[in-house]
Amino acid sequence: MLIILLLIILFHVAAAVLLFVATIHNAWWVVSPPGQDVIYSDLWYSCNATCYPVEKSHTPDAAYLQTVQATMILATILCCISFFVFILQLFRLKQGERFIFTAIIQILASLCVMIAASIYTAENKSFHVTSLHDGSYGSSYILAWVSFPMTLISGVMYLVLRKRK
């Protein structure tokens, strides 16, 4: 049981790290114009040699971008909270009880990641200025989609997990 518990903790920490990297790293959208520097764009900035804020990110026209920003931050926070709740429940719950509260928080984190990545997928052309339309999805976008099933599986594991000897 100790090995299973350790694997679940490592799986949860890996999902949290992926969420942090996906939220912070500047590679949601990558443009490689021929003969120019590669331009990386994330949820807040576009960078080549210098970084500048995403155009109109503070206006109502960028409500989609603001939604993606908020849900990715919320997913990261919920994932961290669920880890701390799991540690607390690990020592507080009686044997045979399930980690329901931890599972609910983790599944909510998974839902937030899915919402953020789905909105970015549907509306990514409207986020970028015309010169950035000919790009492709970057590594942070892919990490966001990878962290979605990881947080969902982690939440389901907490639903199934019972405290045993």
Q: State the pLDDT at residue 108.
A: 97
Confidence of residue 110 (pLDDT cuts 50, 70, 90): very high
Q: What are 39's strand-pairing partners?
A: 31
Tell me which architecture the domain covering 2-160 has in CATH. Up-down Bundle (1.20)
Quick check: 111 pLDDT over 80? yes
CA distance 150 to 143: 10
Q: 98-102, 108-112, 158-162: lowest mean pLDDT where?
A: 158-162
Cβ 157 vs Cβ 11: under 8 Å: yes
Domain coordinates of the chain in residue numbers?
2-160
CA distance 163 to 99: 8
Q: State the pLDDT at residue 129.
A: 52
| 37-82 residue pLDDT tens | 787 877 877 777 777 777 666 777 678 888 998 999 999 999 999 9
Q: State the pLDDT at residue 40.
A: 81
- Write down the mean pLDDT value for the chain: 84
Which one is predicted more confidently, 91 or 54? 91
CA distance 154 to 79: 10
Confidence of residue 127 (pLDDT cuts 50, 70, 90): low
Q: State the pLDDT at residue 16.
A: 95
Quick check: 114 pLDDT over 70? yes
What pTM, to 2 d.p., does this model score?
0.86
